[in-house]
């Protein structure tokens, strides 16, 4: 149980990639606030909570959002306007670059009265995430660290399998009815126990070294 938990943590950490966090400004509201439904923007962002940081206040335009993102140490922000109209809600979402203070992408969402606004806004926010510049791939050191940790996890699994096999050989020795069968089973048990200990020791060391390399150095 402990081994499967360790291996699961290694795999989860290796594949997890939350991606860049973005600052999300509250929408500037125009027109009728009740028809604008500005809160729907925050509700839509909560579906990707690991990507958005709520600024808590509105940003009036892309440059203001960019400066807010820069102060927060982020590369991008999304500013929004929510307009309440007689024919429904109109949302304009703009992805802005913290360095250049320029708009990188924009999405407009029109929602008729009484219709769900969260789902189309979620789609629009996802579209803005796709407009982000590609993130650089992992460096050679990071790849090597995860490779070492992965090899260690594989060695631990092999060591457990050999330990189970050694236990089976011990059971055969206990149940042997003649000296030859007993001798063969005992030899298998010693050999598998020895290889199991070696695999567990090497695997544990490799796993610890890989995780230390990745998260400490």
In a domain, 9, yes or no: no
Q: How far apart are CA 148 and CA 71, in angstroms?
A: 37
Closest CA to 142 of 6, 9, 17: 17
In a domain, 61, yes or no: yes
Q: Give the confidence band of 142 by pLDDT, cuts at 50, 70, 90.
A: confident
Q: Give the confidence band of 135 by pLDDT, cuts at 50, 70, 90.
A: low
Q: What is the pTM of this model?
A: 0.56
Predicted confidence (pLDDT) at residue 2 exceeds the cutoff of 90: no
Domain that holds residue 175: 140-216
Looking at the fold, whether 47 and 121 belong to one and the same domain comes out as: yes
Residue 201's CB is within 10 A of a number of other CB atoms, namely: 13
The dihedral sign for the CA sequence 68, 72, 78, 84? negative
Q: What is the pLDDT of residue 214?
A: 72
Q: How far apart are CA 59 and CA 56, in angstroms?
A: 10
In a domain, 125, yes or no: yes
Share of the chain above pLDDT 70, in %: 88
Averaged pLDDT for residues 170-181: 84
Looking at the fold, whether 75 and 25 belong to one and the same domain comes out as: yes
Q: How far apart are CA 2 and CA 134, in angstroms?
A: 37
166 vs 36 pLDDT, higher one: 36
Looking at the fold, whether 56 and 97 belong to one and the same domain comes out as: yes
183-198 burial string, b = 16+ CB within 10 Å, else e? eebbebbeebbebbee
The CATH number of residue 111's host domain is 3.40.50.10070
Predicted confidence (pLDDT) at residue 217 exceeds the cutoff of 70: no
Share of the chain above pLDDT 90, in %: 53
pLDDT, tens digit, 9 for 90 and up, residues 30-71: 999 999 999 999 999 998 888 899 999 999 999 999 999 999
Looking at the fold, whether 120 and 42 belong to one and the same domain comes out as: yes
Looking at the fold, whether 24 and 100 belong to one and the same domain comes out as: yes
Predicted confidence (pLDDT) at residue 10 exceeds the cutoff of 90: no
Which of 34-38, 79-83, 160-164, 180-184 comes out lowest in average pLDDT? 180-184
CA 91 to chain centroid, in Å, comes to 29
Q: Give the confidence band of 133 by pLDDT, cuts at 50, 70, 90.
A: confident
In a domain, 135, yes or no: no
Closest CA to 107 of 125, 89, 130: 125
Q: What is the domain count for the chain? A: 2
Looking at the fold, whether 103 and 183 belong to one and the same domain comes out as: no
pLDDT, tens digit, 9 for 90 and up, residues 186-206: 888 999 899 999 999 998 898
Predicted confidence (pLDDT) at residue 3 exceeds the cutoff of 60: no
141 vs 72 pLDDT, higher one: 72
Averaged pLDDT for residues 109-122: 95
Q: Give the confidence band of 134 by pLDDT, cuts at 50, 70, 90.
A: confident
Q: How far apart are CA 59 and CA 183, in angstroms?
A: 80
Closest CA to 207 of 153, 147, 131, 140: 153
Looking at the fold, whether 183 and 107 belong to one and the same domain comes out as: no
- 82, 110, 130: which is the final residue of a domain? 130
């Amino acid at each position: 149980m402990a081994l499967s938990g360790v291996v699961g943590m290694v795999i989860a950490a290796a594949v997890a990639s939350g991606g860049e966090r973005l600052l999300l400004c509250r929408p500037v509201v125009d027109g009728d606030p009740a028809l604008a439904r500005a809160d729907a923007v925050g509700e839509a962002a909560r579906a990707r909570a690991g990507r958005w940081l709520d600024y808590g206040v509105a940003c009036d335009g892309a440059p203001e959002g960019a400066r807010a993102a820069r102060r927060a140490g982020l590369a991008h922000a999304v500013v929004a306007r929510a307009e309440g109209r007689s024919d429904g809600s109109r949302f304009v979402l703009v992805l802005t670059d913290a360095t250049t203070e320029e708009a990188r992408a924009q999405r407009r969402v029109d929602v008729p009265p009484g219709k769900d606004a969260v789902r189309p806004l979620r789609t629009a926010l996802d579209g803005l995430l796709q407009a982000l510049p590609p993130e650089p791939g992992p460096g050679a050191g990071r790849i090597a660290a995860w490779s070492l940790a992965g090899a260690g996890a594989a060695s631990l699994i092999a060591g457990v399998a050999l330990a189970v096999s050694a236990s089976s050989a011990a059971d055969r020795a206990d149940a042997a009815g003649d000296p030859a069968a007993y001798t063969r089973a005992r030899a298998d048990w010693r050999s598998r126990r020895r290889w199991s200990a070696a695999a567990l020791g090497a695997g544990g060391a490799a796993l610890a070294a890989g995780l230390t390399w990745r998260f400490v150095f």
